[in-house]
Chains A and B, each alone.
Chain A
Amino acid sequence: MRKRDALVGLAALAAFAGLWHLASTTGLFGRVPAAYAELLLPPPAAVARAAWESARTGELWGQVSVSLVRVAIGFGIAVAVGIPLGVVSAMSRAANAVLEPFVRLFSPIPGVAWVPLAILWFGLGDGAAIFIITIGSVFPVMLATAQGARAVDGRLVEAARTLGARTPALLRRVYLPSLVPFLVTGFRLGLGFAWRVVIAAEMVGVPKGIGYMLNMGRSTGRTEVTLLTMVMLGALMVVAEELVFAPLERHTRAWRAVEAA
């Protein structure tokens, strides 16, 4: 059944590519001259050629890896800062009272809104991109951690203590596993933010990276490069979802459901 669903999905994608090809070779069904159509909507074959060419020269992987490294560093900092802040704000009423106004004030500001300041402070480079990614993804990580730390079941802590668990074992064997489902949610949200923010930053000025490539395609009249970059973005998200988040969620769903009940 699942296999057939996947085949139907693939067939629909193929039909979409066929329609795309038709639209671009007929000048958007006769609405614009063929030369324009080439620029407005290059056919799938042109995108495939661009993919082959940029893969051969290493251009594609080069730009993708620049963005990936920026996200990895920026998100890594967000996790390193967000988890302790989340734990502290869940454990200490005073810390929460101090942190909450900042969270309320700063978390609704879209990450992209930090781009001008970041460029002003860090110049046009990796520093600005990493700063924006960190700012954009630290709040979801922190809030999910705090929520998870508050939700640790006191009964389980008591049960573990009567079974002989001391503090280090309690942290490792009860608190941490209780936190995992919340961390998965926080990481998924945070990485989503990070990814959007880095593309936006690279589009408006930070050189190199996927967002830069997206914009260069347009400004150099190579629309197929822009389209290729968009396809790459989707593919990367599918890979992250299938390799990282879906397995983690499957693994933690069991006790997530129990806690929700």
Chain B
Amino acid sequence: MSVALRTLDTRTTAPPHEPASTARPESAVSFAGVTKRFRIAGGGPVVALEEVSLEVRPHEFVCLLGPSGCGKSTLLRMVAGLERPCAGQVTVGGVAVSGPHSSRAMVFQDHALFPWLDVARNVAFGLEMNGTPGPEIRRRVAHFIHLTGLGGFERAYPHQLSGGMKQRVGIARVLALAPEVLLMDEPFGALDAFTRMELQGELVSLWQREPFTTLFVTHDVDEAVFLADRVVVMSRRPGRAKAVLSVNLPRPRRRTDPAFAALRTRVLAQFDAAPALEDWSI
């Protein structure tokens, strides 16, 4: 969202809401008629998101794909509890989101690591917040540092790490909390192409080990096709879910595969034409 925009709804700091433990719901994350309006300073309201409805199934990897300004990050921030819809509802595990909670932690594009904490303490931060006992924190930190390829960097500070390593820490910090849903806001957007491909591959292997429900925001078509079970193509002004495409390519996917290229072409075609919302299977 542009910084010139000001939200109409200021109730974004409500206390976190503990999700009730209910039977496993059909959808892990659900958007029902979600609308968000902003007011430009000195101007009228702008509809950032209009009537977005979407169901994300448990263990599913969904990419929100669209140009900047289509509201995809706003959708993610609503799941995180950092923003609220003006109309409609966002539910996680069947419970309406009313504020931030460690079961919905987020990986940020600019990593947002705490510069005064070393790698191990950054990864431990969320566990310390939710009152995990010390020995358990140490065990989990060691486990996720190993899993994200950060072994040997436990005592390094963020400024000593490359962009790719920083984002590994960002991912480990969230995974250590065993989140209900993993939220990723263009996490690889600031990385060079090779580091990006490397991390995409590693993210998929992590997800295959233990499939966590993932909502991944990107404006990179290749990235969406490589990662997602389903790609939600979004349009701009007003932000709408224009099409939902299932990606049924086997994993690990190869970018040089003709089927991969064909799928990429079909996703790109969504941005040329403006067809009605429909569910494609390819």
Instruction: Write the residues of chain A forming the contact surface with B, with a CB cutoff of 8 angstroms.
Output: 153, 155-156, 158-166, 169, 173-174, 177, 180, 252, 254-255, 257-259
The 8 closest A-B pairs by CB, nearest first: A164-B102, A255-B115, A163-B126, A164-B129, A159-B112, A161-B100, A177-B116, A258-B115
| Cβ contacts under 8 Å, B125 to chain A | 160, 163, 165, 173
- The answer to whether A162 and B80 touch across the interface, beta carbons within 8 angstroms, is yes
Return B140 CB to nearest CB of chain A, in Å.
Answer: 14
Return B41 CB to nearest CB of chain A, in Å.
Answer: 16
- The answer to whether B81 and A162 touch across the interface, beta carbons within 8 angstroms, is yes
| Cβ contacts under 8 Å, B160 to chain A | 254
- The answer to whether B116 and A155 touch across the interface, beta carbons within 8 angstroms, is no
| Cβ contacts under 8 Å, B183 to chain A | 162
Return B76 CB to nearest CB of chain A, in Å.
Answer: 11
Return B191 CB to nearest CB of chain A, in Å.
Answer: 17
With A162-B104, A164-B177 given, can you name 9 additional A-B contacts, CB distance below 8 Å?
A155-B110, A159-B106, A162-B101, A164-B101, A164-B105, A254-B159, A255-B116, A255-B157, A258-B159
Return A160 CB to nearest CB of chain B, in Å.
Answer: 7
- The answer to whether A254 and B115 touch across the interface, beta carbons within 8 angstroms, is yes
A164 to B108, CA, bound (A): 15
A174 to B117, CA, bound (A): 10
- The answer to whether B158 and A177 touch across the interface, beta carbons within 8 angstroms, is no
A245 to B113, CA, bound (A): 26
- The answer to whether A162 and B106 touch across the interface, beta carbons within 8 angstroms, is yes
- The answer to whether A162 and B115 touch across the interface, beta carbons within 8 angstroms, is no
A153 to B158, CA, bound (A): 15
* Closest residue of B by beta carbon distance from A178: B116
Contact of A254 among B106, B116, B177 (CB under 8 A): B116
21 A-B pairs with C-beta separation under 8 A: A156-B114, A158-B82, A158-B108, A158-B112, A160-B125, A161-B100, A162-B81, A162-B82, A162-B183, A163-B174, A164-B102, A164-B129, A164-B177, A169-B129, A173-B114, A180-B116, A252-B116, A255-B116, A255-B157, A255-B159, A258-B158
Return B200 CB to nearest CB of chain A, in Å.
Answer: 22
Return B73 CB to nearest CB of chain A, in Å.
Answer: 12
Return A162 CB to nearest CB of chain B, in Å.
Answer: 5
Q: How many A-B residue pairs have CB under 8 A?
A: 74
Taking A155-B112, A174-B114, A259-B115 as contacts, is the C-beta distance between A163 and B173 under 8 angstroms?
A: yes
A257 to B33, CA, bound (A): 44
| Cβ contacts under 8 Å, B158 to chain A | 258
- The answer to whether B110 and A162 touch across the interface, beta carbons within 8 angstroms, is no
- The answer to whether B177 and A163 touch across the interface, beta carbons within 8 angstroms, is yes
Contact of B112 among A156, A252, A259 (CB under 8 A): A156
* Closest residue of B by beta carbon distance from A163: B126
Residues of chain B in range 92-131 having any CB-CB distance to chain A below 8 Å: 100-102, 104-106, 108, 110, 112-116, 125-126, 129-130
A155 to B158, CA, bound (A): 15
| Cβ contacts under 8 Å, B115 to chain A | 254-255, 258-259
A252 to B159, CA, bound (A): 12
| Cβ contacts under 8 Å, A180 to chain B | 116
- The answer to whether B129 and A254 touch across the interface, beta carbons within 8 angstroms, is no
Return A252 CB to nearest CB of chain B, in Å.
Answer: 8
* Closest residue of A by beta carbon distance from B174: A163
Contact of A165 among B104, B116, B129, B177 (CB under 8 A): B129
| Cβ contacts under 8 Å, A156 to chain B | 112, 114
* Closest residue of B by beta carbon distance from A161: B100
A177 to B118, CA, bound (A): 13
Interface string of B125-163 (1 = CB under 8 A from A): 110011000000000000000000000000001111000
* Closest residue of A by beta carbon distance from B110: A155
Indicate if B252 sits at the interface (CB-CB under 8 A): no
Return A11 CB to nearest CB of chain B, in Å.
Answer: 37
Residues of chain B in range 154-187 having any CB-CB distance to chain A below 8 Å: 157-160, 173-174, 177, 183
